[in-house]
Chains A and B, each alone.
Chain A
């Protein structure tokens, strides 16, 4: 240990220490004898693939489980964190991946929830506004009107309001679960500045993320989990991203991005002057059989809306779509599926999967008509397809009777893809197919996308993940403010050029 390290040990008090904690779910040991600690005034990053146990460990700190084993020590004494109230009492605040604010309420009602200042029996409006603004100032939102409703502010501001709400309770420990997953680059920078200031004020911050570059920007120490076990804790200066990835996946990622184009000659899909007013306008493009066509754009550029209108989920106001040369106008999503034009949603939990049903039900849902004869459904005929898909996507655990809601995020995403792979679509529109997914699952999904293209499916890949977009696509369409502004061939595409084009810069 160097002298500098010793100095660090002295200046930082341990705010929370977990000793050999475990948590078991029916069917899974989600966290397996993990030691973890976080010191005051530091950011401790917690990383790992989906299903590695990060979120479970965090929920444990948040008091979501009353049946964990092991000790949690704060200060010098052992504490019980069996209920959320106990956690809050011990000065622990959580900021979750998904916004947990009440949409129809105002900012101040959300920030001061449970402790709205009163004057007699009435609410003290003036004091409410003052206190809210005070909280908001800490996250750089002092300019916002506390009476605005949450649905009126942007998602980024919502995230910050959530932090403000947590800070209002004067926490000692702040836990952030993927706080940047919905933020743009610029917004991420602002968040990091805020985190930096909080750190200076002596807060202990636990930071969970998938994005390695972020970890290097924001964290002081990093702990890697894999399969519920701790792999190691290091000072951030001691590790490289290659090393972290290796710790996370247990394998090297040398052959990560090397994909070939499988585009054939015949045109599969042609879109002419398609518009949905207010969302996208005058969109024209065509895609070949076996081609992977990337669509890039900032959030709000109309990418998802385009995908949804193509399959008939949303209305179209003008323009035509041709599938294999014939005009195609689905009245309902089911017609699109019948014709082999399918859309993989970006919201897997609400629109993609039936979380309470098992892997088999979820995977075979797209081919129920094909598996039925005279209205009689024989799901056993689908078993072969199912086993093949589970194998190809290495869905873990490889058990078709597993309830999908109990799988990790990455495996849920694989099941979602398996659903559409089962019906061998002519055109597969993928909307953020690897959002919030770990590197191992991502590689598997990419391989499957390539395999689908090889078999002749046309893939339309809508993604914010630039390396993914650039490496998988044979062409990339750039969308900006509802219009296609550029059509870039593979040779022209680099992460930088695509991003610049999406931001409206000339390259």
Chain B
């Protein structure tokens, strides 16, 4: 028996190397290589005179500002995807709704407004958590339904009007503070949202990789039934993913509302699909349980670069949507194919 074992061990060593190199190339560096590719592409296009002002401080800042917002939303939604529940389609309305709530509550001062806003964000997260975690509603259908409910509430309560922080705030200072959520820059350079994003990335990466919750989430995402049979409270684990997503969406909502200086039902439109695209490009499979926050950040960077280059090229918004959709399809397809060739027949 011991003879058999030694022979087998030798064999397995040779085999193991093959898989790990292939796997590593696919998983960790892939997305950042793509980011560098687009950066180089931009520079080449600029040097050929096809686009202007790509490699300028202002433009790089623009890209960063743009990806910051997307990043905040995407790293939270990544938990939903990681849990094997695809995406939270209620993110755009959560952003709009919490933004409107915050503007409305500025009449009581800045800090009270923030607290109330996050309570509302938490509430939305809990509603999703109960419906999808506990009652196992289909995540896409449920969150889409929530979109309509939230939109209805906004239309009824605010009579379909836009609301402005400078009219509602109890003092000019309050409205300035609100404006500064997006505009404040440390040392005049690093924006507050970017700092928030970096903190989020570090914190959520830690949660996903190093905590008890993260380990249980991974198992739940990869095989929900098996996780449940292993004694994991999957209802709680899945619910928490939606709560995290709703809270980052709230943060995103505050930022985007501060940016536009208006509480408006269409703030945040498109962030659902952009976030999913970034997540999937970043190597997090829709089937759940695989990928990382750092990968998602890479995906966000790539999305920002693509958007920026397309805008500089003068491609219209509709065409940009089309291109983004196409990229999504290609990435999901390639993802499925590479998994299959590794002997994992799911995507």
Contacts and interface: CB of A to CB of B under 8 A. Distances in A.
Interface of A: 25-28, 227, 250-251, 313, 332-334, 336-338, 342-343, 345, 350-357, 361, 364-366, 368-369, 371-372, 375-379, 394, 396-399, 401-403, 405-406, 419
B19 interface: yes
B12 A398 contact: yes
A298 B33 CA distance: 58
Contacts of B20: 401
A368 B212 contact: yes
B189 interface: no
A26 B15 CA distance: 7
A357 B217 CA distance: 12
21 contacts: A27-B16, A27-B18, A250-B4, A337-B230, A343-B229, A354-B219, A356-B222, A356-B223, A365-B216, A365-B230, A368-B212, A368-B216, A377-B210, A377-B215, A397-B11, A397-B12, A397-B16, A402-B16, A403-B344, A406-B343, A419-B230
A334 to B, nearest CB: 4
Contacts of A372: 211-212, 215
Contact of A28 (B15, B219, B289): B15
B209 to A, nearest CB: 9
Contacts, number: 122
Contact of B212 (A343, A369, A397): A369
B229 A313 contact: yes
A361 B228 CA distance: 14
B231 A338 contact: yes
A334 B211 CA distance: 18
Contact of A365 (B19, B210, B232, B343): B232
A398 B289 contact: no
Contacts of B219: 354, 357, 361, 365, 368
B9 interface: yes
A399 B343 contact: no
A103 B17 CA distance: 42
A394 B5 contact: yes
B8 A396 contact: yes
Interface residues on B, range: 35 or more
Interface string B285-328: 00101100000000000000000000000000000000000000
Contacts of A333: 228-229, 231
Contacts of A355: 222-223, 344
B231 A334 contact: yes
Nearest to B287: A356
Contacts of B8: 227, 396-397
Given A26-B19, A357-B222, A405 B343 contact: yes
B311 to A, nearest CB: 38
Interface in B115-174: none
Contact of B218 (A352, A357, A371): A357
Contact of B343 (A25, A351, A401): A25
B233 A334 contact: yes
Name which of B223, B225, B231, B343 has the most chain A CB atoms within 10 A of its CB: B231
A368 B344 CA distance: 25
A354 B222 contact: yes
A416 B344 CA distance: 19
Contacts of A343: 229
Name which of A25, A250, A334, A351 has the most chain B CB atoms within 10 A of its CB: A334
Interface in B252-309: 287, 289-290
B227 interface: yes
A407 B226 CA distance: 17
B1 interface: yes
Contact of A27 (B5, B19, B230): B19
B231 A361 contact: no
Given A25-B343, A27-B16, A356-B222, A365 B213 contact: no
B211 A376 contact: yes
Contacts of A364: 215
Contacts of A377: 210-212, 214-215
A362 to B, nearest CB: 8
Contacts of B215: 361, 364-365, 368, 372, 377, 379
A378 B8 CA distance: 30
Contacts of B48: none
B232 A399 contact: no
Contact of B344 (A379, A402, A405): A405
Given A26-B15, A337-B231, A365-B216, 17 more contacts: A26-B18, A26-B22, A333-B231, A350-B226, A354-B219, A355-B344, A356-B287, A364-B215, A365-B227, A371-B212, A376-B210, A396-B12, A401-B16, A402-B16, A403-B343, A403-B344, A405-B343
Contacts of A361: 215, 218-219, 222
B342 interface: yes
Contact of A399 (B16, B210, B231, B289): B16
Interface in B221-255: 222-223, 225-233
A378 B18 CA distance: 28
Contacts of A357: 218-219, 222-223, 289
B84 to A, nearest CB: 10
Name which of A355, A377, A379, A398 has the most chain B CB atoms within 10 A of its CB: A377
A398 B8 CA distance: 9
B229 A352 contact: yes
A356 B289 CA distance: 8
Interface in B1-56: 1, 4-5, 8-9, 11-12, 15-16, 18-20, 22
Nearest to A397: B12
A189 to B, nearest CB: 35
B231 A366 contact: yes
B226 to A, nearest CB: 5
B283 to A, nearest CB: 14
Contacts of B12: 27, 396-399
A111 B290 CA distance: 39
Contacts of A356: 222-223, 287, 289-290, 344, 346
B225 A350 contact: yes
Name which of B15, B213, B342, B344 has the most chain A CB atoms within 10 A of its CB: B15
A398 B18 contact: no
A338 B231 CA distance: 8
Given A27-B15, A356-B289, A376 B229 contact: no
B232 A334 contact: yes
Contacts of A313: 229
Contacts of B287: 356
Given A26-B19, A377-B215, A397-B12, A368 B232 contact: yes
Nearest to A369: B212
A82 to B, nearest CB: 15
Contacts of B289: 354, 356-357
Contacts of B218: 357, 361
